[in-house]
Amino acid sequence: MSETFRAILISRDADKRQSVETVTMTPGDLMDGDVDIAVEATTVNYKDGLAITGKAPVVRRWPMIPGVDLAGTVISSTHADWRAGDKVVLNGWGVGEVHYGAYAGRARVSGDWLVPLPEVFSAGEAMAIGTAGYTAMMSVMAIEAAGVTPADGPVIVTGAAGGVGSVAVALLAKLGWHVVASTGRAEEASYLKDLGAAEVIDRAELSAPGKPLGKERWAAGIDAVGSHTLANVLAQTRYHGAVACCGLAQGMDLPASVAPFILRGVSLVGIDSVMAPKPRRLAAWCRLAEDLDRERLAALTTEIGFDDIVAAAHRIVDGKVRGRLVVTM
């Protein structure tokens, strides 16, 4: 194993001007941890795009190697759960934000943050899922836990052509839901229908200020957009429906009323994938192994190289990426 490796490093000067460069590092440059991993694949999430472009305060320690997801093989470990040769996946835990992340040939992390790579997935497939797909699965599980089923009516997925949305559409379709996919990119309608969407609507139907209550259109929702979009999704959710909130592409605000909650008994469930406890992570990855169609996963995946990461980060923030990006290392 080479003792040097390339990494993407984000730095900030005294005037808080951010710079991004590719550097050569050694294991001695890494932060503390009890497991060293050869990174075999990673991905570019919306959060990674925000970190690299500096368009939101994602990074909280400087300098930083970004990248919140990785899949790879354990090189060495002093953690009781892991030994050399184990295949592992990491999502979240502040990696790429406060702890050196995945955009490097090698990572050193806490063994408590790792889960085993499901046998049915390659490292690349695990990163095609990544935090986005793992978040989508947790959102599906939250809807199920609220007692809402496909028999209760359609499900709306906002930001449907993005990473979370694409995996959510594929998962929900396989589970028997009538999926309504909301997107601002009309050219992606065929792509979304190939993933299993029954209907595709223009995001403009939901993105403007709306009424406290609207016509009951769906029994459940997965929203990665926030702001007026989430408010309108809630206002149009059926009696005793449930909506999982997992993103903020339109904004962090929620200009809604209590009407859907007190007049229709609608549930709004928050999805935190970053610090989710290990049992919940294991359950989500187990369900992904069972419920995600690997052919549809391949259809929503684009493979890029390490040298393409920075450009891809800018594209994803500009809304020019569909589905999932897998970085092969």
Kindly state whether residues 166 and 42 are assigned to the same domain. no
The pLDDT value recorded for residue 1 is 47
User: Is the pLDDT reported for residue 322 higher than 80?
Assistant: yes
Domain count, the chain: 2
- Whether 232 maps to a domain, the answer reads yes
Please state, in angstroms and rounded to a whole number, the distance separating the CA atoms of residues 275 and 273: 6
> What does the pLDDT look like over 263-294, one tens digit per residue?
999 999 999 999 999 999 999 999 999 999 99
Kindly state whether residues 36 and 93 are assigned to the same domain. yes
How would you classify residue 32: left for phi > 0, otherwise alpha for psi between -120 and 50, otherwise beta? beta
Tell me the mean pLDDT in the region 135-145: 98
- Whether 275 maps to a domain, the answer reads no
Which tokens is 125 given?
């497939």
- Whether 249 maps to a domain, the answer reads yes
Query: What distances in angstroms separate CA 193 from CA 173, 285, 288, 325, one per listed residue?
Result: 10, 25, 20, 20
Kindly state whether residues 316 and 247 are assigned to the same domain. no
Which tokens is 137 given?
């699965």
- Whether 52 maps to a domain, the answer reads yes
User: Is the pLDDT reported for residue 107 higher than 80?
Assistant: yes
Kindly state whether residues 96 and 226 are assigned to the same domain. no
- Whether 291 maps to a domain, the answer reads no
> What does the pLDDT look like over 215-232, one tens digit per residue?
999 999 999 999 999 999
The pLDDT value recorded for residue 25 is 97
Kindly state whether residues 59 and 145 are assigned to the same domain. no
Kindly state whether residues 157 and 249 are assigned to the same domain. yes
The pLDDT value recorded for residue 2 is 56
- Residue scoring higher pLDDT (329 or 101): 101
Range of the domain at 311: 5-117+296-328
Kindly state whether residues 26 and 150 are assigned to the same domain. no
- Whether 190 maps to a domain, the answer reads yes
Kindly state whether residues 31 and 138 are assigned to the same domain. no
Contacts 24+ apart (CB under 8 A), 141-149: 141/283, 141/284, 141/287, 142/242, 142/244, 142/269, 142/271, 143/220, 143/222, 143/242, 143/244, 143/269, 145/269, 146/220, 146/242, 146/267, 146/269, 147/240, 147/242, 148/219, 148/220, 148/240, 148/241, 148/242
Domain edge (last residue) among 254, 270, 286: 270
Kindly state whether residues 148 and 201 are assigned to the same domain. yes
- The pTM for the full model equals 0.92
Kindly state whether residues 315 and 261 are assigned to the same domain. no
Mean pLDDT of the chain: 96
- Whether 257 maps to a domain, the answer reads yes
- Whether 302 maps to a domain, the answer reads yes
Kindly state whether residues 174 and 252 are assigned to the same domain. yes
CATH number of residue 41's parent domain? 3.90.180.10
> What does the pLDDT look like over 31-53, one tens digit per residue?
999 999 999 999 999 999 999 99
User: Is the pLDDT reported for residue 204 higher than 90?
Assistant: yes
The percentage of residues in the chain with a pLDDT greater than 90, rounded to a whole number, is: 96
Domain edge (last residue) among 252, 270, 288: 270
CATH number of residue 169's parent domain? 3.40.50.720
How far from the centroid of its chain's Cα atoms is residue 10's Cα? Answer: 21
Tell me the mean pLDDT in the region 74-103: 97
pLDDT band at 56 (very low <50, low <70, confident <90, very high): confident
User: Is the pLDDT reported for residue 76 higher than 70?
Assistant: yes
Kindly state whether residues 142 and 261 are assigned to the same domain. yes
